[in-house]
Amino acid sequence: MTLERVTVLGATGSIGTSTLDVLGRHPERYRVHALTAHRSRESLLAQCRRHRPAVAVLDAEEDAAWLRGQLAEAGLATEARAGREALVEVAEAREVNTVMSAIVGAAGLLPTLAAVEAGKRVLLANKEALVMSGALFMDAVTRHGATLLPIDSEHNAIYQCLPVDHRGGLVRHGVTQLLLTASGGPFRGWSRDDLVRVTPDQACAHPNWSMGRKISVDSATLMNKGLELIEACWLFDARPDQVQVVVHPQSVIHSMAAYSDGSVIAQLGNPDMRTPIAYGLAWPERIDAGVEALDLFRIARLDFEPADEVAFPCLRLAREAMAAGGTAPAVLNAANEVAVEAFLAGRLGFTAIGELVGRVCDECPVMPADDLETILEVDALARRAARVRLARQ
């Protein structure tokens, strides 16, 4: 069997570490080419010792210099590099077959797009790449012959529930609706008044999934589900009204597809990201992910309820941004990143996240998202607008 060489963008985050766990279970099949991290240099060093990549990339040169010294001391041949250009190069490297895109936020857009343009198999766990530049991104996938496999548990589930060739609109394939499940986060059932006093530690305590702090906050506000709604529209050629969010507290059904004959096809499994990661790595085959088999007798029941868009307005804001089109989703994403950063730093209240995002979306004009330069300019503009509003508070 020919070894597949894999680059993991965002290797030290929860998706990255889960990816390395799956890769480590199949050394006869996969080899790590490159690992990247933002500032977690100690964690990246430990991963280099375990997986021996050819290249390791950090954001800052000072961290890369530290890593070079540590690697030399350990007798490892891994090359330590720094910066955006290095990220792009390990994503598009000739030696690489597969790229796991697990960088959180807008920072993942350029290297992920580079992997697509190089025709790689791209495992997409960075939803912002599609939220910011959906039309451009999907067009690049087609033009460059890349293979795009969604890794978010919900989109991966929908991918498994749809026909292999699902492009061209859902109706063409007899699909009437995509049912995007949500756990409801740690504050399911809380009123808006209850949410005013939520702390960062409370928001990051997800009941079912182990995730980074930014994604955990997005899950708590339901912005994560809003971003997933936008992502689903691009991935599956769907309109916003064809995607329904269903709160499912057990997180056992990861999402569903409803068909015109009355059938609803669902994908079930324990809430462990190694399942969709293994699916993406081996598709169209199946490999061991190290995940415990689902015990339906222990689960015993499956509950469903509608999402509360009054207490959690971020979901509504995301749907409205997708319906507006153009650069509106990029504005939404940029404002949310600034707002969540401020919340985690103790400078913004929990309910003020959605309020800030809504105001920035209202004040930033929607433009056609025709090129990457425009999208990046709008991203910067929205961030400035959000920071100005924060400074006034």
* Tokens read off for 364: 């930033």
- In angstroms, rounded to a whole number, what is the distance separating the alpha carbons of residues 179 and 182? 10
336 annotated to bind ligand? no
Cβ–Cβ < 8 Å for 37, 212: no
Query: In the chain, what is the straight-line distance between the N-terminal and C-terminal CA atoms, in Å?
Result: 60
92 annotated to bind ligand? no
- In angstroms, rounded to a whole number, what is the distance separating the alpha carbons of residues 328 and 320? 9
152 annotated to bind ligand? yes
* Tokens read off for 142: 């087609």
62 annotated to bind ligand? no
Dihedrals phi, psi of 70, to nearest 5 degrees: -65, -40
Residue in 163, 131, 158, 137 with CA at minimum distance from that of residue 245 = 158
Residue in 165, 323, 159, 153 with CA at minimum distance from that of residue 257 = 159
Cβ–Cβ < 8 Å for 87, 110: yes
Q: What are the residue ranges of helices labelled H in the chain?
A: 14-24, 41-51, 61-74, 84-92, 109-117, 128-144, 153-161, 192-195, 200-203, 213-221, 223-235, 274-282, 296-299, 314-324, 328-344, 350-363, 372-392
280 annotated to bind ligand? no
151 annotated to bind ligand? no
128 annotated to bind ligand? yes
Residue in 385, 389, 362, 380 with CA at minimum distance from that of residue 109 = 380
Place of tokens 């990661």: 277
12 annotated to bind ligand? yes
39 annotated to bind ligand? yes
224 annotated to bind ligand? yes
95 annotated to bind ligand? no
Residue in 88, 87, 91 with CA at minimum distance from that of residue 100 = 91
* Tokens read off for 120: 């790689």
15 annotated to bind ligand? yes
154 annotated to bind ligand? yes
Task: Tell me the sheet residues that pair with 117.
Answer: none
127 annotated to bind ligand? yes
* Tokens read off for 338: 């600034």
Binding residues for 1-deoxy-D-xylulose 5-phosphate: 127, 153-154, 183, 206, 219, 224-225, 228
Binding residues for NADPH: 12-15, 39, 126, 128, 212
Binding residues: 12-15, 39, 126-128, 152-154, 183, 206, 212, 219, 224-225, 228
Binding residues for Mn(2+): 152, 154, 228
